[in-house]
Amino acid sequence: SAKQAGGNRGVMYESALFDKAAQQFAIEADMRDALREGDQFVLLYQPLFRLGAGRSVLAGFEALLRWRHPVRGWLSPALFIPVAEESELILPLGEWVMEQALRQGRAFHAASPGAGLVMNVNVSALQLTQAGFCSGLAGVIEAEGLDAGQLCLEITESMLTGAGASTVLAEARELGVQVAIDDFGIGYSSLSYLRRLPVDVVKLDRSFLEDVGGGSSGEAFVVAVIALAHAAGKPVVFEGIETQDQKDIARRAGADMVQGFFFAPPLSANAALELVRSDRKLSELAEAITSD
């Protein structure tokens, strides 16, 4: 009967819920161990490139967290960041990320001092609204020997709905730190608030690319959104570029920077450092040619 079927669904639902709760609990316990052990978390660095008339020039990196779980293997942040946020373990984890990313940013800077490479770091709402976030940040920046302007905090639209976050971001920008709004365009407040958002950079979500293609109005829409960001005085990063076509669209639409698998996936620290060095050589070569 229908009732019986419903009942079965109920049982399945409950057991799925139990599995989910059990899994979250297990992840949380393992995360506490991992934070103690110290070598299970790894940062990868995905390059951002500035589009220009000539070749795309390396502009910086986004630090992206991975967890090398001793039993489950590599885990994606989509799986464990929500658990870290719920359990507040994102606070120690986020501190580790910030320190590690800035230390690596310093190494990139040393390898190419003139390039002004920026390190983008994703920050959760809970971190931002923690008392002393900005003074802690100032301390890490100082300790790692970076210019504040070489750090860019990536936050999401939903974090701006509370008044608390905006105050903290204003404070961070006062330190000279940049702020980027991540995944822009998938929230609600976006367009009308763009001008007032306390951010320096807009990162367009890759979902915009799904609407583009085949000469539809999608591309015109992307052009308009980028123009709007520019009108608000904010440079635009187009995220998730996977093909030459998408790169061409980003360029035509006026995006200032690009990021995506077409250019490079998230890289190990060593691979990223190699990229910094080769980009520096290319820049020096271009300079030598133009000054001849």
Q: Is 240 in the site for ligand C2E (CB under 6 A)?
A: yes
Number of other CB atoms surrounding residue 105 within 10 Å = 26
Q: Does residue 65 bind ligand C2E (CB under 6 A)?
A: yes
- Other beta carbons within 10 Å of 227: 13
Q: Which of 8, 15, 23, 76 binds ligand C2E (CB under 6 A)?
A: 76
Output 126 or 175, the one with its CB closest to ligand C2E: 126
Contacts of Mg ion in 176-205 (CB under 5 A): 182-183
d(CA 184, CA 222): 12
| Both structure tokens of 210 | 């799904």
Angle of helix 163-174 relative to helix 133-144, nearest 10 degrees? 30
Among 27, 48, 64, 201, binds ligand C2E (CB under 6 A): 64
Selection from Mg ion, ligand C2E, none that 179 binds (CB < 5 to 8 A by kind) is none
Helical residues (DSSP H) of 181-259, grouped into ranges: 190-193, 207-211, 218-231, 244-253
3-class SS letters over 147-182: CHHHEEEEEEHHHHCCHHHHHHHHHHHHCCCEEEEE
Determine the interface stretch with ligand C2E among 25-33, 51-59, 122-130, 282-290 (rule: CB under 6 A).
122-130
| Beta carbon of residue 292, minimum distance to ligand C2E (angstroms, whole number) | 37
In the three-class reduction of DSSP (H, G, I as helix; E, B as strand; rest coil), residue 145 is classed as coil
Residue whose structure tokens are 């105050």: 167
Residue 144 makes contact with ligand C2E by CB under 6 A: no
Return the SS3 of 11.
Answer: helix
Beta-bridge mates of residue 238: 204, 258
CB of 262 to ligand C2E, least distance (A): 6
Q: Binders of Mg ion among 137-166, rule CB under 5 A?
A: 154
Bridge partners of 45, per DSSP, are 63, 267
Shorter beta-carbon distance to ligand C2E: residue 185 or 260: 260
DSSP state string for 27-74: HHHHHHHHHHH-SSEEEEEEEEEE--SSS-EEEEEEEEEEEEETTTEE
- Among residues 109 and 247, whose Cβ is nearest to ligand C2E? 247
Kindly tell me which of 76 and 189 has the beta carbon lying closer to ligand C2E.
76
Taking the least distance from each CB to ligand C2E, the nearer of 74 and 288 is: 74
Q: Could you say which of 33, 210, 242, 287 contacts ligand C2E (CB under 6 A)?
A: 242
Segment contacting Mg ion by CB under 5 A, of 7-15, 27-35, 95-103, 118-126? 118-126
The site for ligand C2E (CB under 6 A) is made up of 46, 64-65, 76-78, 81, 97, 122-124, 154, 182-183, 206, 240-242, 260-261, 266
The site for Mg ion (CB under 5 A) is made up of 122, 154, 182-183, 239
